[in-house]
Amino acid sequence: MIKTMSAYTFEIDEVAIAVSEILAQLDVEHSLYAHSVGLMTCYEEFIETRVIKAISDALPFDVIGCSTMANASAGELEEMMLCLYGLHQRNGRAASTVGKDHSYHCHDCQCVS
């Protein structure tokens, strides 16, 4: 079974506030499965202010993402917004991840590229 979660923040300047908002919405201590990965989209200023790095470092799973001109999550739509979508799989042999070192790892065959 795959479960999804989403979180967002508008906080660009205060890194600690942005991280706490994301973590509070995801409730990572109680809602993760064995295999998790995050997809992040954001306005480019979140990269410049290092919010992306702080959120990625605070999460217990790998995150991949890109910048975009607008985001939408939980009924919110904004240009200057960061969205994080978590995909979580309890079990299953075909799960794959992209690691923080940008390597691709397929859990089914144990290959790394």
So where are the chain's domains? 2-112
Q: How many CB atoms lie within 10 A of CB 98?
A: 13
Residue position matching structure tokens 């990269």: 47
> Which tokens is 62 given?
């790998």
Dump pLDDT digits (tens) for 42-98. Answer: 888 888 999 989 999 998 888 888 777 777 676 776 678 888 877 766 665 434 545
Query: In one letter, which amino acid is 99?
Result: G
Say if domain 2-112 classifies as CATH 3.30.1330.
Answer: yes
In the prediction, which pLDDT does 106 show?
41
Is the pTM for the entire model greater than 0.75? Answer: no
pLDDT of residue 100: 52
For residues 106 and 112, give the distance between their C-alpha atoms in angstroms, rounded to a whole number: 7
